[in-house]
Amino acid sequence: MDNVIIIGSGPASYTAALYTARASLQPLMLEGEPSQEILPGGQLMTTTEIENFPGFPEGITGPDLMDLLRKQAGRFGTRFLYRTATGADFSSRPFVVHAGTDVMQAKSIIIATGAAARYLGLESERKYFNHGVSACATCDGALPRFRNKPLAVVGGGDTAMEEALFLAGFASKIHVVHRRDAFRASRFMANRVMKHEKIVVEWNSVVDEILGNDTDGVTGVRLTDVVTGKKREIAVTGCFMAIGHKPNSELFAGAIDTDKEGYILTKPNSTRTNVPGVFAAGDVQDRTYRQAVTAAGSGCMAALDCIRWLEAEGLI
């Protein structure tokens, strides 16, 4: 039986592993399988440029950052297993985690399975991902390819408004593409967007194609008017999807408390869930910030909460 099983991989997982390993808990991390939709290493494995993670003044690629975090956690005794958790039972102790036909038991669990951005599902969207297509303005908006260039933001909620306003600080012009004739966002945020001199709203429109080429990446988007069916193209160098995120928490449905969107609920000022001994960190419980550095920070918190709980229970 393991002291702690960490489910998931990414900044939160590797940081939790680092702290629990340094506490001599010999954590077992289930990183997932390379063939799965959720890559070992998390969303950052598909990120080519990271300029806002502390300690890298020249920037670093997502895969390189994940490799460094993994090596650091491994240095102190983390055991890594390229297996995807397929089931979990937290109804009694020891806790049980299934990975296919394998059954593992642990005194404690740290869940850090992350979240996935929602996309439109276009083939061209996949083609130009990280070459002008993004789902995080805070992560990518300040990159040179987007500065003083026209950009598109897809969505109509508060997240889309926040993304558009943030990008307006860097871009020459922002096209907010929304499929309806009114925003779902709060009135305050919607008014800020509609009054901004750099922002144009493309009402009753959907993006049906991302335009570009292999050299420049995204060069434009094609819009379809949902009322008239008319198509038109607008020139942009980036297209930011702001249509929501989906926490990777389906595995734990019924085993742990989540909100209506699937984000794992944690106690105030902690990473404790409703099940004593089970902790959650990173984007699977963070609907607000969703940054690599905040995920790493919550991984640290989860590890410390876990260590203190194990000590209090006399389990280590």
- pLDDT tens across 217-268, in order? 999 999 999 999 999 999 999 999 999 889 999 999 999 999 999 999 999 9
Share above pLDDT 70 across residues of the chain, in percent, rounded to a whole number: 97
Range in 24-28, 31-35, 239-243 the model is least confident about:
31-35
The rounded distance, in Å, linking the Cα atoms of 7 and 281 is: 10
Residue 21 CA neighbour count, 13 Å, CB half:
23
Contacts of 237 (CB under 8 A, 6+ apart): 132, 145, 146, 149, 150, 151, 216, 217, 218, 219
Tell me the average pLDDT across 261-277. Answer: 96
DSSP state of 242: -
Domain residue extents for the chain:
2-116+245-312, 119-241
Residue by residue, DSSP assigns 57-100 as: TT-B-HHHHHHHHHHHHHHTT-EEE-----EEE-SSSSEEEEET
Of 140, 283, 286, 305, which is the active-site residue? 140
Q: State the architecture of 119-241 in CATH terms.
A: 3-Layer(bba) Sandwich (3.50)
The verdict on whether 300 is a catalytic residue reads no
What is the amino acid identity at position 175? H
Contacts of 80 (CB under 8 A, 6+ apart): 29, 31, 70, 74
Tell me the average pLDDT across 142-153. Answer: 95
Determine contact, residues 206/192, Cβ cutoff 8 Å.
no
The rounded distance, in Å, linking the Cα atoms of 260 and 255 is: 15
| pLDDT band (50, 70, 90) for residue 46 | low
The verdict on whether 305 is a catalytic residue reads no
Record: fold of 2-116+245-312:
FAD/NAD(P)-binding domain (3.50.50)
The rounded distance, in Å, linking the Cα atoms of 144 and 301 is: 34
- pLDDT tens across 172-187, in order? 999 999 999 999 999 9
Written as six digits, the tokens of 107 are 């005194």
Determine contact, residues 44/52, Cβ cutoff 8 Å.
no
* pTM given for the model: 0.80
| pLDDT band (50, 70, 90) for residue 36 | very low
What is the amino acid identity at position 23? A
Tell me the average pLDDT across 277-284. Answer: 97
The rounded distance, in Å, linking the Cα atoms of 154 and 138 is: 15
Q: Do domains 2-116+245-312 and 119-241 have the same CATH topology?
A: yes
Share above pLDDT 90 across residues of the chain, in percent, rounded to a whole number: 83
The rounded distance, in Å, linking the Cα atoms of 296 and 151 is: 30
| pLDDT band (50, 70, 90) for residue 136 | confident
Residue 114 CA neighbour count, 13 Å, CB half:
23
- pLDDT tens across 72-126, in order? 999 999 999 999 999 999 999 999 999 999 999 999 999 999 998 889 999 999 9
Of 139, 283, 305, 306, which is the active-site residue? 139
Of 2, 136, 239, 286, which is the active-site residue? 136
The verdict on whether 139 is a catalytic residue reads yes
Determine contact, residues 167/137, Cβ cutoff 8 Å.
yes
